[in-house]
Chains A and B, each alone.
Chain A
């Protein structure tokens, strides 16, 4: 299979590049090289920290998309599920401010995940039971989440405290890599673990095999006794939960407060990351990190006071890179074949 081989090659190139960058980053941050402004802008610890922080919600959003779409349900509503999760986390947090901080934060995370799951279930119900067009259903979820969260948002409520970094012993002592990767708050670790879990789950378990079968060839899956729609319900709900976690991350770890519309298009960007990563967890993670990096770069340039180029053009970088990447070197990605189609159990339309 040629496309597969192309992807293998891309993955290898990606890993080599990533390792080279890490080596470079270590050099820049530990040696005299760091005195050069442009090197610091490109590889400084602050740029790397920013990259990861911007990438986490994108990674989670992309994982949410993969969960749904691998089973054949298009999820354009990630943005809305994320926002619902963020709002739920905020409401839960403000109501549990008097609990011990960690308990309150963990509880709020669970609430975010739960509400995200409900949104996912809603999406599944719309698209499977009511045969609503999946893109329309996603759009409905986005508008609904935006409207409801803004209407109910009590701006006088204050969430107290957010997840603090946890330094992993030994690992966090490694220069550069330590502070960037191993001294992060809980949800960051969780997101990264989730990527690996999803990869293993999708490609090495029965659940993954069945999910992919349902997404690629529901008729055949049905024939061998896989409950197509039950898998779709389950995966879309799981996807919603992961998107809810992304929202929880924004409120409970990144900011500490809620703000209407605070997802600010991250759901859409993670959709792009998912497609860019060809519906593979690690691919999507790579894409998310790339988007995060372009954002970091933009901010580094602003902080470094680069004035020769109007900031508008610097800010365009992430989006232009995405367009170039999506149209140039990814070329034709291949989505799960049965996406977007209603599956009727009793033989056809």
Chain B
């Protein structure tokens, strides 16, 4: 922001130009997807029409898109914040799960607590759950040099098993059931429904499950933007990410920054889990892990690791997820094509040279996202 005397176009112009690449990438990806469908005897037009109506066709569809967008915003931010410090957080999935479990635990307890307090407490629990799971890789990296990629991958598996155990029905093996298991669910491994007082308020038709987490998500986006670009700690995070040596030379607290960043990343993913539980699922079952952690990586990259970019990327992915079922219903096309399209979008966004060659644009218009410079070795 320092070089305002630059002869580059104004703020709005720059914003529009920064949209050029993702939009081009999306269009090309959709086109390739269409060719693939056509080659297999599917009708791409019917498929895309179904995709559109499933994502935006009516109020329910739109609500679905927004609802799917919320966790992606959080996990996308979680991955992006880590990227800013040169850390690769593959662990959003695990942090998400720990947030889910913690929020469930609070959500099913404390009958009679007033709603605002109960919701806040449950959200806080989610924050703590994610925080713990984010701090472990941060601390291990700083104190032992263990690489966060490995630790977070392993913690994902551990979190999935731990979360599964909390609602484990015990089977017929005579094992004791998990602490959050719902005894009225008989042999089923799931928690009881969370209490009414712990549920997030719903907007519009309650059947849409469009919850107040949307507002929270947008607020958090602004907060993270402020944290990264407007505060000292944000500056430290970015400096550590861009140039570790320079950060050390400047006397920055590198170790502390790494731990802090992983903590924030964990909190964001944990919050996603809490909001999904309190707003959408209202209970926890082991299969509620989903793709959301891994999708966070893609969303973060597609959003060029910028908070506002992430909102747009999450919106796109939310829409693709929301419309997929309708697409299959209308056209019979397997939903996996969505994954292919998502990968292509990512590929084209990540390789601007590719798009540039296609459209003969000038080189300076795009920044190349760089995150892989601190692979391996301890930074602490």
Contact = CB atoms under 8 A, between A and B. Distances in A.
User: Within 8 Å by CB, do A and B touch in the complex?
Assistant: yes
A151 B41 CA distance: 13
B372 interface: yes
B57 interface: no
A340 interface: yes
A216 interface: no
A136 B153 contact: no
B274 interface: no
- Looking at chain B's contact residues, is the secondary structure mostly helix, strand, loop, or mixed? helix
Contact of B373 (A139, A152, A318, A341): A341
A332 B144 CA distance: 7
A323 B372 contact: no
A313 B161 contact: yes
Contacts, number: 159
A332 B378 contact: yes
A136 B371 contact: yes
Given A132-B351, A271-B149, A340 B372 contact: yes
A322 interface: yes
A148 B340 contact: yes
A273 B369 CA distance: 27
Contact of B347 (A140, A265, A318, A341): A140
Contacts of B370: 133
Interface in A297-328: 307, 310-313, 315-316, 318-320, 322-323, 326-328
Interface stretch (B12-20, B168-176, B195-203): B168-176
B372 A74 contact: yes
B150 interface: yes
Interface in A66-100: 74, 76
B336 A147 contact: yes
A150 B333 CA distance: 12
B339 A146 contact: yes
A100 B321 CA distance: 44
Given A136-B369, A143-B298, A310-B165, A319 B158 contact: yes
B377 A322 contact: no
Given A327-B144, A332-B145, A335-B377, A136 B353 contact: no
A337 to B, nearest CB: 9
A133 B342 CA distance: 17
B375 interface: yes
Interface in B189-246: none
B154 A319 contact: yes
B199 to A, nearest CB: 28
Chain A interface extent, by class: 35 or more
B165 A312 contact: yes
B343 A140 contact: yes
Contacts of A310: 165, 168, 175-176, 178
Which of B155, B350, B373 has the most C-beta atoms of chain A within 10 angstroms of its own C-beta? Answer: B350
Contacts of A143: 298, 339, 342-343, 346
Nearest to A268: B153
Contacts of B46: none
B297 A312 contact: no
B74 interface: no
Interface of A: 74, 76, 126, 129-137, 139-140, 143-144, 146-148, 150-152, 260, 265, 268-269, 271-272, 275-276, 307, 310-313, 315-316, 318-320, 322-323, 326-328, 331-335, 339-341
9 contacts: A139-B297, A147-B336, A152-B40, A271-B149, A275-B376, A312-B162, A312-B165, A323-B154, A335-B377
8 smallest CB-CB distances across A and B, nearest first, come from A335-B376, A147-B339, A327-B146, A143-B343, A147-B340, A312-B165, A340-B372, A150-B336
Given A137-B350, A144-B344, A269-B153, 7 more contacts: A144-B343, A265-B157, A271-B150, A320-B158, A323-B154, A323-B155, A340-B375
